[in-house]
Structure 1
Amino acid sequence: MKNEILSVENLTLKYGRHEAVKDISFSIYKGDYLGIVGPNGSGKTTLLNAILGLIECTDGRINFHGEARLGYLPQKSISSDKFFPAKVKEIVATGLLSQKGIFKFYTEEDYIKVNTILKKLDIYDLRYKKIGDLSGGQQQRVFLARAMVSSPNILILDEPTNYLDTKMRDELYRILKELNKEDNVTIIVVSHDLKTLGNYINKVLYLETELVFYGTYTSFLHSKEIGRYSNPININQIDGGI
């Protein structure tokens, strides 16, 4: 039986009088690969921000069970401008700052961690390249490496495949699946691309301010709620479901 790692109980999130999320409850278990979907403005990013502790709960609560080490890949991680001077190795190392503190120097052990994750994501050869000189797919691997370098057990990603083509999207989700299986990292990802993501996740949370559906991907494909999802999905596409 899987261990519960995170539970959300009767959670409501408001901005002023506006309810972004209304009275939702669900549990996430160790090793889950969860896709959060829904229309624009349905509360997906707001929910992630609450889980990350960036905003306070209006009502209800979010509980972590056991040690929670969070990694986060936001929609826009850093400037990818061609003239942005930071190098890959420097950017990935900033993922350790939350553990070290701002004014401490990086140690040899820190750079071992950086090199290890760069090799795992197959971007070690890019370590001295400027981020602005990389392709969109390479940049996302760098940002993912930064999120992973501190060895989180929960990885949270907000629209990580924006601006990537279909091949790059599939590659990123495949990498996440490897981290999920090999390192037992629980993954929570917001996406509009459930057609591709569905090949890899085991659970879906469909949000429209209120919780519309929460369960396995296969169950979602055969549920009445699938009709409310706006992007077409092939009903035979169930390889990633459990």
Structure 2
Amino acid sequence: MITISNLTKKFGSNVSLDNVSCQFKKNESIALMGANGAGKTTLIRSILGYYHPNSGEVLINGLCPVKNRTEVLQNISFVPQLPPPIKLNIDELMQYISISSDVDKELIEHYSNEMKLDIKANLYKSFFKLSGGMKQKLLIAISLAKKSNIIIYDEPTANLDPKARDDFYRLLKQNEDEKVLLFVTHRLEEVKELINRQIYMDMGKVVSDERL
């Protein structure tokens, strides 16, 4: 599903990724860990095609995420740590997602309700003005409704209360088959029941890769 081969990414004289190689296959749930500046975000952005590598390559289902970005992103759901400053209201956002990514609006509503987010009561509220928890619930609902075979969560539970976290874990358990789930997290205890692999990065390198 994801093959990373000898990937190096530099920003000026700073080496953010230093000859990284690893593979993520279906039915793997991976915790990607490491201190700030370890290279985790650069690795994720390379997978998403945001960055051109200095050397090495990333392949998503055999495709380059830079050269074939539109096709690659059709198969990836990504929930960032900081929700984007979207000015659309929820109804407009769901309509946009439905058209641009061929996602069923009713499925977004279903998963939102499962996350205890009342879509109908908030339909015409600006996404930008929602609370952090509400934004996170909606983005999680969209990520599940998209039916991607690769789902990437960057600190997915940061804005969720304990009950919402339980709902999130339950929904992931129901939707993990035949997928790659990748969690960028500082809190292993929050995803330990979901993961079967743990990768630790430091100074742009993978320093440990343990299957659980």
2:10, 2:30 → 1: CA distance? 24
| Contact kept in structure 1, 2:112 and 2:118, CA below 8 Å | no
Aligned-pair CA distance for 1:152: 1.6
| Contact kept in structure 2, 1:95 and 1:147, CA below 8 Å | no
> Which of 37, 40, 44 is equivalent to 1:41?
37
| Contact kept in structure 1, 2:33 and 2:185, CA below 8 Å | yes
2:179, 2:94 → 1: CA distance? 18
1:191, 1:164 → 2: CA distance? 14
Higher relative contact order (CA 8 A, sep 6+): 2
Aligned counterpart, 1:205: 199
Aligned-pair CA distance for 1:44: 0.6
Query: Quick check: 24-33 or 148-157, which moved more?
Result: 148-157
Question: 1:90 aligned to 2:58?
Answer: no
Paired positions, count: 196
TM-score (norm 2): 0.79
Task: Identify if the C-alpha distance between structure 1 residues 94 and 147 changes in structure 2 by more than 3 Å, giving closer, same or farther.
Answer: farther
Aligned-pair CA distance for 1:134: 5.3
Percent sequence identity over matched residues? Answer: 29
1:114, 1:13 → 2: CA distance? 38
- After superposition, residues 33-112 of structure 1 pair within 5 angstroms as 33-65=29-61, 68=72, 69-79=75-85, 86-96=88-98, 98-99=100-101
2:2, 2:82 → 1: CA distance? 25
Aligned-pair CA distance for 1:29: 0.8
Gaps of 5+ in 2: 63-70
The CA RMSD measured in Å over matched residues stands at 2.6
2:173, 2:111 → 1: CA distance? 13
- After superposition, residues 1-242 of structure 1 pair within 5 angstroms as 5-65=1-61, 68=72, 69-79=75-85, 86-96=88-98, 98-99=100-101, 113-122=104-113, 125-129=118-122, 130=125, 131=127, 136-181=132-177, 184-208=178-202, 209-216=204-211, 218=212
| Contact kept in structure 2, 1:75 and 1:159, CA below 8 Å | yes
TM-score (norm 1): 0.70
Task: Identify if the C-alpha distance between structure 1 residues 60 and 146 changes in structure 2 by more than 3 Å, giving closer, same or farther.
Answer: same
Aligned-pair CA distance for 1:50: 0.1
Aligned counterpart, 1:240: none
1:139, 1:99 → 2: CA distance? 19
Aligned-pair CA distance for 1:99: 4.0
Q: Secondary structure at the match of 1:152?
A: coil
2:120, 2:85 → 1: CA distance? 17
Aligned counterpart, 2:67: none
Q: Secondary structure at the match of 2:159?
A: coil
Q: Secondary structure at the match of 1:146?
A: helix
Q: Secondary structure at the match of 1:180?
A: coil
CA deviation vs aligned residue, 1:192-229 (integer Å, no higher than 9, x gap) = 1111111111111111121111122x3xxxxxxxxxxx
Aligned-pair CA distance for 1:135: 5.1
Q: Which amino acid aligns with 1:204?
A: Q
Aligned-pair CA distance for 1:96: 3.8
Aligned-pair CA distance for 1:23: 1.2
**Higher Cα Rg, which structure:** 1
